[in-house]
Structure 1
């Protein structure tokens, strides 16, 4: 263990592996709100946070569980499709609160190309939130729509019905055939956009004035 007269004990959250304070410092210096994306073993959580002297203030937030309760989502709450929809929902709420720009904060999650945290970012961008990014980091559109899950489910249903029942028990319990996930994704996405249609119209009107 490090020691000596110049040794400084790391902050508690750094010791616990929860916060990279250098990255946080750089993001705070940008002066922009942070699009905070976190994932657990069951859910995706997206927040738009503004740094204040007294501490972080959450301006808008969305949880993938809301997709189930508010919009009838019947698939998994931690997959790529759910991450995209949660990011879109959080961004629409941020736009409604007057936030137009942000910087991405994925915490200690690894920045792997196509990861769920970047699916959430794609959802936020498609909603109209402006966040610096590289196009190469996003999952394929087909993956966001859940086409890979649908194809795998169709294969299992034909070749191994028992495994199909086990792997997709939650989908089937919720009344969704996993082969129809892409269609269900579009249905829920349209519900979210319709719910915030007035926000999108205001954003488009503001963009038209700027042009």
Structure 2
């Protein structure tokens, strides 16, 4: 069941389905909606290219040539971690190999947010409101005297 997602060819839902099937889960499916299915035949080369991030590296190359500023902002974290369009496929392949070696989920410690933002102003007590009014009135009197 795809829920509210559109079931168009190449949709991410089918990428997740492909990943689950490759991972060993038995899900009844048809290959017609995978990326690369054209003319009643699945183009496995194109599908493999998408699995290892080939479409992302192509987009990176195109963006770097046409709009370098946009490239720098869109792929800032990639560039920070020395990920370029040339080594992206190797990184994806290495990640897949690491998952195959140890498929168990590693739980990481999550940092809790220090303080939550409070949107409502803190209510003042009667005495605090009275004191604030007194200081405002004194400020107004001082302005009037000048």
C-alpha distance in structure 2 between counterparts of 1:156 and 1:126, whole Å: 31
Aligned Cα root-mean-square deviation (Å): 2.0
Moved more, 153-162 or 107-116: 153-162
- The answer (yes or no) to whether the contact 1:146–1:182 under 8 Å persists in 2 is yes
Gaps of 5+ in 1: 1-104, 198-211
Number of the residue aligned with 1:186 = 93
TM-score, normalization: structure 1?
A: 0.40
**Is 1:141 matched with 2:48?**
yes
- What number of residue pairs does the alignment pair up? 93
- The answer (yes or no) to whether the contact 1:168–1:178 under 8 Å persists in 2 is no
Number of the residue aligned with 2:11 = 115
Kindly report structure 1 stretches of 4+ aligned residues shifted beyond 6 Å: none
Greater share of strand: 1
TM-score, normalization: structure 2?
A: 0.56
Gaps of 5+ in 2: 36-46, 105-146
1:182 deviation in Å? 1.8
C-alpha distance in structure 1 between counterparts of 2:85 and 2:72, whole Å: 10
C-alpha distance in structure 1 between counterparts of 2:5 and 2:62, whole Å: 32
C-alpha distance in structure 1 between counterparts of 2:74 and 2:94, whole Å: 23
1:196 deviation in Å? 3.4
